[in-house]
Structure formats: structure tokens, C-alpha cells
Amino acid sequence: DAGVTQSPTHLIKTRGQHVTLRCSPISGHKSVSWYQQVLGQGPQFIFQYYEKEERGRGNFPDRFSARQFPNYSSELNVNALLLGDSALYLCASSLRVPSGRVNYGYTFGSGTRLTVV
């Protein structure tokens, strides 16, 4: 079985541009979460989606948005890029029990390295 796949693996953008990052979860996983990892820091939570609905949002500006598709894949969009948006963006997929509680941890993709110049 394929793991969590993210594309592209690397990306260079100019300040002010827009970027779309993509993630395909493990087959059977219905929840996708996005994280930003700035060099030298721990991953910071951006969004969590389940069944195409946003279920959690971290402390990020409105320039960041995401969506989940019927096949449970997801896109993360960032508008008006800033130099500070340069980071590794990680996607994680997880099972979600009917009660809503995720208790099996997350499986992470290898990430998309975004460089804003």
C-alpha cells in the first residue's frame, strides 16, 4: 500500500505569489492534517479535515486555506507568499473512529519544501 504522498517535493516561489500543495492520504484514511515546519522548529498545526469538512485550524493567517476532496485527498493553498512562509509543509493522514476521536496517530508524508524568494 502506498503511504501518504505529497506533491511537489520541492518548490520555489516569489514573494506575493500563490502556491498549491497536494496530499493523498493512505487508502482508507479519511482525515488529513497539514503542518508547517520551519527550519529548526517542531511542526506547527495548520488545518485538519475530515469528510471534506474543516475540523480544526491552527493559528495561521487567512492567507492559508485548504480543502478536502471526495476521494479524501487534500490541497493546501497559500496566497500572497511571504519570505517567512518558507518551510517544509507536512501532510498527515489518520483513521478516525465513529465517535470522532483519532487514536491511532498520524502517518506523515515526506513533505513539500517551499522556498519563497
Partner 1 sequence: AQSVTQLGSHVSVSEGALVLLRCNYSSSVPPYLFWYVQYPNQGLQLLLKYTSAATLVKGINGFEAEFKKSETSFHLTKPSAHMSDAAEYFCAVILYNNNDMRFGAGTRLTVKP
Interaction site with partner 1 (CB under 8 A): 31, 33, 35, 41-45, 48, 50, 55-56, 58, 90, 92, 96, 100-111, 113
- Grid cell of 104 as nine digits: 491511532
Q: How far apart are CA 13 and CA 86, in angstroms?
A: 9
Rounded to a whole number of angstroms, the distance between the first and last alpha carbons of the chain is 37
The least distance separating partner 1 from the CB of residue 64, rounded to whole angstroms, comes to 15
| Residue 38 or 80 with smaller CB distance to partner 1 | 38
The least distance separating partner 1 from the CB of residue 15, rounded to whole angstroms, comes to 24
Each residue of 5-37: b (16+ CB within 10 Å) or e? ebeeeeeebeeeeebebebbbbeebebbbbbbe
The least distance separating partner 1 from the CB of residue 16, rounded to whole angstroms, comes to 27
| Residue 71 or 99 with smaller CB distance to partner 1 | 99
